[in-house]
Chains A and B, each alone.
Chain A
Amino acid sequence: MNKKIIFVVGILAIFLAGFACQVSAYAIGASPATLSFSIPRGGYEEKTFQVSTNSETPLEFSLVISNSINTTISVETKDKTAVSGKPAEITVRAYASRSAKPANLDGVITALLKPSGEARSGSGSIISTGVAVRIKVEITDESAPLFQNKMLLISMSLIGVIIVLGGIYLFKFARLRVRGKAGKSLKPKKARKKRKTGKIRR
């Protein structure tokens, strides 16, 4: 009787183990599949792509930028997890230094999911899936304006105006203090000038 139970449980365990190993990995995708940038020297451009999955549980992924473009491309994302109905949005920024030479660069940004399976009998290859977005960057022969960012330009201008006004005020205030200490008249320049010419009688 015991042998029969052990046999049935054994068969069931093998069946379940086999079933578990046949569970499909989750789909992963990226859209758009290709991002193209065209930037002048000293300029930058931003675009976004989405990493999506059909998994009902949030899946964590990592991002890898290929060597051919890793000095030109940077990525930014709030969240490196994707779940069915809620893809992760990745912002890609391509930039070129002012000394960069005109070039056409090709590379990929790869989103890799963590492996979800376990090797059967503890032996074999655990499959991990990912998706690569093709990146094409054209650095043109033109030069970007010194301040490509308008907000930065406005902020810098405002700061400049405040510094100049502050400097003028401080200069005048310091002059008045010096005169006051020396016991000199604090009358305006014009009045003193007129007095010298005799147009104002005391």
Chain B
Amino acid sequence: MRKLSKIVFGAFLVLTLSLVCFSFNVRADTASGNVTIQNTAPTMGTVTLLNQAAADEAITLSAGGTVVVTASATVTDVNGGASVSSASGTLYHSTSTSGGADDENIHITNSSCVLGTPSGNDILATCSFTMNFMALGGTWTANLTAVDDSSAQVSGTDDNTVNDLAGLDVVEATIDFGSLELGANSSTGADMTVRSQGNVQIDAQYSGNNYTCTVGTIDVGNTNYGLTDVSYDELTTALTADPTTQTAFDLGVRGVATANGANSDENEYLGIKIPTSGVSGTCTNTLTVTAIADA
């Protein structure tokens, strides 16, 4: 009987210990990985807006073309650099704002800037902007925004200067006056289209040399030009060897003088008078058209 009670007591003890151990195991299981770390918004270091040559100097545009400028900044997130999920940027003229609409003269948006490889809590955000020849001169501001996984964001800005650019091209490569008799003049002006390729209003300077004919020469002054399509005699300005500025030319900037995307053009009309004698065959000369910023 005494032996039986010892066995029952032993079994009770083993069962009790098993239950205690089981209970500890269960408790340990429910406590693991249940900590929530609160998000901290990222911060941004100094933003640097570099020019087309990746230098911290004024931006110089390219006639009839584009240049690419970059703005970059180091973004720090104490939750880890990898938690920065995206970056975007705007580049805008002093006459616009960061939230303004895109415009080829004053506002550019880059909605997907490049994020570098995270290094600890830091990550480099770089925004590239393509500036066209018609982007206005003056102060431009780059505004960079970085967003983390929890949609917390940070922004920073930097300014730079865009230089004035005077530029043009002439749509036609040559002017053809056709076939004329001795002593005759071209009854209507030949059309030449001058196109703005810069970011300032320009005047045009005209000069030329004498026509060299198969036989003889025609004086450069026998060519008249003007801004209206009229007869030779009504084109009152004679072409000269030295450049003459046509101050009434006033060719405006694309996007400012025209709608966004539409070329800004000005027509020039030219006529010629053939001498009464001394020339025959074909005649050619060089006509030089020069852009100069409107004074």
| A contact set with B: CB distance below 8 Å | 21-34, 50, 52-54, 84-85, 87, 108, 110, 112, 115-134
Contact with A along B149-186 (1 / 0, CB 8 A): 00000000000000111111111111111010000000
Residue in contact with A24 in the complex, picked from B169, B177, B198, B284, CB distance below 8 Å: B169
Instruction: Please name all residues of chain B whose beta carbon is closer than 8 Å to the beta carbon of A25 when the two chains form the complex.
Output: 169-173
Q: For A133, what are the chain B residues with a Cβ–Cβ distance below 8 Å? A: 166
Given contacts A53-B63, A53-B64, A87-B60, A119 and B198 within 8 Å (CB-CB): no
Residues of B within 8 A of A (CB): 60-65, 133, 163-177, 179, 192, 195, 197-198, 200, 205, 208, 223, 243, 270, 282-293, 295
A155 to chain B, nearest CB (A): 29
Interface residue from A53, A84, A110, A124 paired with B284 (Cβ < 8 Å): A124
* Residues in chain A near residue B62, CB distance under 8 A: 29, 52-54, 84-85, 87
A180–B175 Cα gap in the complex (Å)? 91
A35–B180 CA distance with the chains assembled, in angstroms = 45
**CB-based contact B166/A31 at 8 Å:** yes
Residue numbers in A under 8 Å from B173 (CB-CB): 21-25, 116-118, 126-127
Q: Contact: A127 with B284, CB < 8 Å?
A: no
Interface SS majority for chain B = strand
Q: Output the nearest chain A residue to B193 by Cβ-Cβ distance.
A: A24
Q: Are B292 and A32 in contact (CB under 8 A)?
A: no
Q: Are A125 and B290 in contact (CB under 8 A)?
A: no
Give Cα A161–Cα B293 distance, bound, in whole angstroms.
Answer: 52
Given the interface pairs A50-B60, A121-B176, the reply to whether A24 lies near B168 with Cβ below 8 Å is: no
27 A-B contacts, Cβ less than 8 Å apart?
A24-B172, A25-B173, A27-B65, A27-B167, A29-B61, A29-B133, A29-B167, A30-B166, A33-B163, A50-B60, A52-B62, A52-B65, A53-B64, A87-B60, A112-B288, A117-B173, A119-B174, A122-B282, A124-B176, A125-B174, A125-B223, A126-B173, A126-B287, A127-B170, A128-B289, A131-B63, A131-B292
B65–A54 CB distance below 8 A: yes
- With A21-B174, A127-B287, A132-B291 in contact, is A31–B61 under 8 Å at CB? yes
Contact B284 A125 (CB under 8 A): yes
User: Known contacts A27-B65, A33-B198, A125-B285; is A130 also within 8 Å of B163 by CB?
Assistant: no
Question: Apart from A26-B169, A27-B65, A125-B285, what 13 extra A-B contacts exist at CB < 8 Å?
Answer: A27-B63, A27-B195, A29-B198, A32-B163, A34-B164, A52-B63, A54-B63, A124-B175, A125-B223, A130-B205, A130-B289, A131-B167, A132-B243
Docked CA distance A108–B205 (Å): 12
5 shortest interchain CB distances as A-B pairs:
A29-B63, A29-B167, A27-B64, A117-B173, A54-B64
Pick from A34, A126, A134: contact of B285, CB under 8 Å: A126
Residues of A within 8 A of B172 (CB): 21-22, 24-25, 117, 127
* B290 and A132 contacting across the interface, CB-CB below 8 Å: yes
Inside 8 A of B195's CB, which chain A residues have their CB?
24, 27
Instruction: Give the shortest distance, in Å, between A139 (CB) and chain B (any CB).
Output: 21
State in angstroms the CA–CA spacing of A130 and B291 once bound together.
6
